[in-house]
């Protein structure tokens, strides 16, 4: 089912690039010489065994950590130089849901969206939560939800934060079959509209995209 969301800004000329990226943790090098480019409508799936640096790479792309070597560019410019311009174009959802137990479902969505720079009203939040399968649970504290439902709360932000670049770390964790299908449809809609997706997942999922890149970290 298509979600009637506001279109993302046109990004036909924008590209996300990783150039000779390296990651070191302690005295261990997780990866080096990682290169990629991602354009509008493109999907990049980051794969590799546990400890290969998948989450570390995604955190670099979000600007939460610096590569040991190399550079990340957005539209040809280092993301460090762009600062807020880049971060305003990107939505990151980590492998932990990041929800607050004592807040309600709707409070979690509205606050997390506001922190990302998108103030949404009650009706818009309810619409997104209903679409993601949480209708009737909006006023419940998150602490009473299952892990799968908590994950849906976090993923509902994708419906209300209009950014071209989505960076998703294990977005399918704890989700049932119906929820996985819903997220697949949401990702495909975003890609059809010219968005970009970088994601890790241990689950197999077939996503239609203009271009698909498989980035393997040894």
- What are the boundaries of each domain within the chain? 13-89+163-218, 97-162
3-state secondary structure of 58: helix
Q: What whole-number distance in Å separates Cα of residue 10 and Cα of residue 24?
A: 35
The pLDDT value given to residue 97: 86
What tokens appear for 66 in the block?
């610096």
The pLDDT value given to residue 8: 47
Question: What are the mean pLDDT values of the chain's consecutive 10-residue runs (218 residues total)?
Answer: 50 83 96 97 96 97 96 96 91 92 98 94 98 97 97 97 96 95 97 97 92 94
Q: What whole-number distance in Å separates Cα of residue 156 and Cα of residue 150?
A: 10
Looking up tokens 């602490």 gives: 143
The pLDDT value given to residue 12: 53
Given a contact cutoff of 8 angstroms between Cβ atoms, the answer to whether 53 and 31 are in contact is: yes
Specify the fold of 13-89+163-218. Rossmann fold (3.40.50)
The pLDDT value given to residue 3: 56
Residue partners of 75: CB distance under 8 A and separation at least 6: 13, 14, 15
- The alpha carbons of the chain give a radius of gyration, in whole angstroms, of 17
The pLDDT value given to residue 14: 78
């Amino acid at each position: 089912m298509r979600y009637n969301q506001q279109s993302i800004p046109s990004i036909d000329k924008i590209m996300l690039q990783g150039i000779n990226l390296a990651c070191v943790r302690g005295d261990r090098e997780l990866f080096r010489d990682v290169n990629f480019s991602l354009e509008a409508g493109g999907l990049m799936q980051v794969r590799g065994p546990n400890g290969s640096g998948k989450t570390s790479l995604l955190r670099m792309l979000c600007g939460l950590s610096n590569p040991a070597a190399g550079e990340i560019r957005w539209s040809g410019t280092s993301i460090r130089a762009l600062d807020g311009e880049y971060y305003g174009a990107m939505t990151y959802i980590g492998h932990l849901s990041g929800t607050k137990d004592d807040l309600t479902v709707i409070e979690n969505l509205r606050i997390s969206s506001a922190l990302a720079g998108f103030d949404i009203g009650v009706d818009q939040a309810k619409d997104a939560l209903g679409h993601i399968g949480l209708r009737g649970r909006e006023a419940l504290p998150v602490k009473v939800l299952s892990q799968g439902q908590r994950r849906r709360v976090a993923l509902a932000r994708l419906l209300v934060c209009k950014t071209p670049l989505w960076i998703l770390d294990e977005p399918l964790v704890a989700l049932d079959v119906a929820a996985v299908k819903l997220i697949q449809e949401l990702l495909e809609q975003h890609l059809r509209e010219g968005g970009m997706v970088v994601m890790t997942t241990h689950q197999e999922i077939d996503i239609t995209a203009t271009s698909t890149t498989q980035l393997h970290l040894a």
